Structure 1
Amino acid sequence: MNPNTRKGILLMILSMLGFALSDAFIKASSGVMTSGQIVLALGIGGTILFATICIAKGQKPFSKSFFDRAVIIRNLGESFGSMGIITSITLIPISTVSAIQQATPLVVTLGAVLFFKESVGWRRWLAITVGFFCVLLIIRPGLDGFNPYALFALLGMFGLSIRDLATRPVKDSVSTMQLSVYGYLVLIPTGIAVSLITGGAILPPLHTLGHAAVILLFSAIGYVTVTMSMRIAPLSDVAPFRYSRLLFALFFGIVFFGERPDWQTYLGSFGIIMSGLVLLWREKRS
Structure 2
Amino acid sequence: MIPRAKQNTGLGILLMSATSLVFALQDGISSHLAQEYNVYMVVMIRFWVFALFALALSARQPGGIVAQIRSRHPWVQLTRGLLLIVEVCVMILAFVQLGLIASHAVFVSYPLIVAALSGVVLGESVGWRRWTAIGVGFIGVLIILQPGVAVFSPWAAVPLLAAFMFALYALLTRYVARGDMAGTSFLWTGIVAAVAISPLGLWFWQPMTAGDWGWMGVLCLTGAGAHYMMIKAYEVAEASDVQPFALLQLVFIAILGLTLFDEELKLNVMLGAALVAGAAVFTLWRARLAAKRAATAG
Structure-1-length-normalised TM-score:
0.88
> Counterparts in 2 of 1:134-283, with a 5 A limit?
134-144=140-150, 146-170=152-176, 174-188=180-194, 190-192=196-198, 201-202=204-205, 205=208, 207=210, 208-283=212-287
C-alpha separation in 1, matches of 2:175 and 2:44: 28
Q: Which moved more, 1:173-182 or 1:85-94?
A: 173-182
2:71 alignment partner in structure 1: 65
Offset at residue 251 of structure 1 (A)? 0.1
1:146-178: per-residue Cα shift (whole Å, max 9, x none)?
332233322221111111100122156644344
Paired positions, count: 282
Are the aligned partners of 1:74 and 1:167 in contact in 2 as well (CA < 8 Å)?
Answer: yes
Q: Which moved more, 1:67-76 or 1:110-119?
A: 67-76
Aligned residue for 2:149, secondary structure, equals: coil
Q: 2:240 corresponds to which letter in structure 1?
A: S
Are the aligned partners of 1:192 and 1:202 in contact in 2 as well (CA < 8 Å)?
Answer: no
CA, structure 1 residues 7+89, in 2 after alignment: closer, same or farther (shift >3 Å)? same
1:101 aligns with one of 107, 114, 135? 107
2:3 alignment partner in structure 1: none
C-alpha separation in 2, matches of 1:66 and 1:222: 27
Q: Which moved more, 1:267-276 or 1:201-210?
A: 201-210
Aligned residue for 1:259, secondary structure, equals: coil
Are the aligned partners of 1:25 and 1:215 in contact in 2 as well (CA < 8 Å)?
Answer: yes
C-alpha separation in 2, matches of 1:186 and 1:12: 25
1:125 alignment partner in structure 2: 131
2:117 alignment partner in structure 1: 111
Offset at residue 45 of structure 1 (A)? 1.6
Structure-2-length-normalised TM-score:
0.85
Q: 2:96 corresponds to which letter in structure 1?
A: T
1:66-112: per-residue Cα shift (whole Å, max 9, x none)?
97132122123212211211221232211112212211111111111
Aligned residue for 1:152, secondary structure, equals: helix
Q: Which moved more, 1:202-211 or 1:162-171?
A: 202-211
> Counterparts in 2 of 1:4-83, with a 5 A limit?
4-58=8-62, 59-60=64-65, 63=69, 65=71, 68-83=74-89
Aligned residue for 2:189, secondary structure, equals: helix
Offset at residue 53 of structure 1 (A)? 2.3
Percentage identity across aligned positions? 26
Offset at residue 3 of structure 1 (A)? 7.9
CA, structure 1 residues 98+156, in 2 after alignment: closer, same or farther (shift >3 Å)? same
Are the aligned partners of 2:69 and 2:187 in contact in 1 as well (CA < 8 Å)?
Answer: no
Are the aligned partners of 2:94 and 2:103 in contact in 1 as well (CA < 8 Å)?
Answer: yes
Q: 1:106 corresponds to which letter in structure 2?
A: L
C-alpha separation in 2, matches of 1:224 and 1:110: 29
Name the Cα RMSD after superposition: 2.5
CA, structure 1 residues 206+112, in 2 after alignment: closer, same or farther (shift >3 Å)? same
Q: Which moved more, 1:170-179 or 1:109-118?
A: 170-179
Are the aligned partners of 1:46 and 1:181 in contact in 2 as well (CA < 8 Å)?
Answer: no
1:19-53: per-residue Cα shift (whole Å, max 9, x none)?
00100111222233221111111121211222122
Offset at residue 215 of structure 1 (A)? 1.2
CA, structure 1 residues 202+130, in 2 after alignment: closer, same or farther (shift >3 Å)? same
Aligned residue for 1:60, secondary structure, equals: helix
1:173-193: per-residue Cα shift (whole Å, max 9, x none)?
644344333223333355456
**Runs of 4+ in structure 1 over 6 Å off:** none
What stretches of structure 2 of length at least 5 have no aligned partner? 1-5, 291-298
CA, structure 1 residues 138+51, in 2 after alignment: closer, same or farther (shift >3 Å)? same
